[in-house]
Amino acid sequence: MSKLRVVHYINQFFAQIGGEEMADYKPEYREGIVGPGLALQTAFGEEAEIVGTVICGDSYFNENLEKATAEVLEMIKAAKPDLFIAGPAFNAGRYGVACGTITDAVKKELGIPALTGMYVENPGADMFKSSVYIISTKNSAAGMRDAAPKMAKLGLKLAKGEKVGASCEDGYIPNGIRVNLFEKERGSKRAVKMLLAKINGKPFTTEYPMPDFDRVPPCPAVKDIAHAKIALVTSGGIVPKGNPDHIESSNATHYGKYDIEGVDDLTSDTYATAHGGYDPVYANEDADRVLPVDVMREFEKEGKIGSLYRYFYTTVGNGTAVKSAKAFAAEFSKELVADGVQAVILTST
């Protein structure tokens, strides 16, 4: 079998053309290996050969994203590779974005197996980790020795159409795809082992890593709460009895918006919870325990608040994806803003 043809993409810095002063360098194609391609070639051994290298300045690429992508794609296409590798970009932001963009374009537009590599906090990682394989590297070029064999190994798998393993096996940044597998030891044993390691201050790996949560700076306080229009929102699944919009009891795909004009109290005849995962008895008996319409109405009459917003928004928080919840609230917050709501009380079960 002949060797697989590989095209490699690097920036002006790794091509030893120059640093920041040469970042406007336009795309150039060179035959054979340049710079870090050598480490990749060593890792490929006899199985593949880097036939050409595309070099492009990071600023040029990022400032002329569409044009640069088209130019680089043309060069890659002309070289007829079986595999395309970009970087690794380590923690260089513009280089990471360039590597992700071009890898994604090669995969989608040319249909050629492609991968890149970068440090997990490189902005390019978040942008492209779900669309292309990105080998997780260290944050500086000192990580090349680690990265090259991993990139070469996964690259060969992709080029040959072999099955790709889990992110922890093949060393790429988790792309959000889950695969079933059988563990050798049962859950209780693994949990106790993990706990013992934790107590003894030894390293352990969680089997359920928490997603990364971003932060939003707090809004200024409400100046005059006694005259403010306040809305109620809940993730506790309170809905009109019968759940007219069929909000799912777990992993909700939508939210509800319900009119509470003239409603002074939520009763077991009119409201209930759609939420799974907690005992619904108490919420079904009296939904004010989750969505406190009764007391808010009293506050309204007593002048503690200006008014209670006419609608409440509700969904089920049980197992619902962060992405979904984010999309729900991004959507209904626009309505809240448009209707002049000045504060929100959000209750969770």
Partner 1 sequence: MVKEIERAGIPVVHICTVTPISLTVGANRIVPAIAIPHPLGNPALTAEEEKNIRRKILETALQALSTEVTDQTVFEVKY
Binding residues for partner 1, per CB under 8 A?
210, 213-223, 225, 228, 230, 233, 235-236, 278-283, 285-286, 288-290, 292, 294-296, 298-299, 304-305, 315, 325-326, 328-330, 333-334, 336-337, 341-349
At closest approach, how far in Å is the CB of 275 from partner 1? 9
Task: For the CB of residue 202, give the shortest distance to partner 1 in the complex, in Å.
Answer: 24
| Closer residue to partner 1, CB minimum distance, 22 or 228 | 228
Closest contact distance (angstroms) between CB of 108 and partner 1 is 30
Nearer Cβ to partner 1, position 10 or 260? Answer: 260
Q: Which is nearer to partner 1, 78 or 226 (CB)?
A: 226
Measured from the CB atom, the residue of 47 and 286 that comes closer to partner 1 is 286
Comparing C-alpha atoms, which of 158, 109, 116, 108 is closest to residue 136? 116
Neighbours of 108 (CB within 10 A): 12
* Residues forming a β-bridge with 257: 313
Question: Which of 127, 222 has the CB closer to partner 1?
Answer: 222
| Nearest CB to partner 1, comparing residues 160 and 304 | 304
**In the bound complex, what is the minimum distance in angstroms from residue 317's beta carbon to partner 1?**
8
Least distance to partner 1, CB of residue 321, Å: 12
The minimum distance between CB 326 and partner 1, in angstroms, equals 6
CB of 276 to partner 1, least distance (A): 12
When the beta carbons of 24 and 265 are compared against partner 1, the nearer one is 265
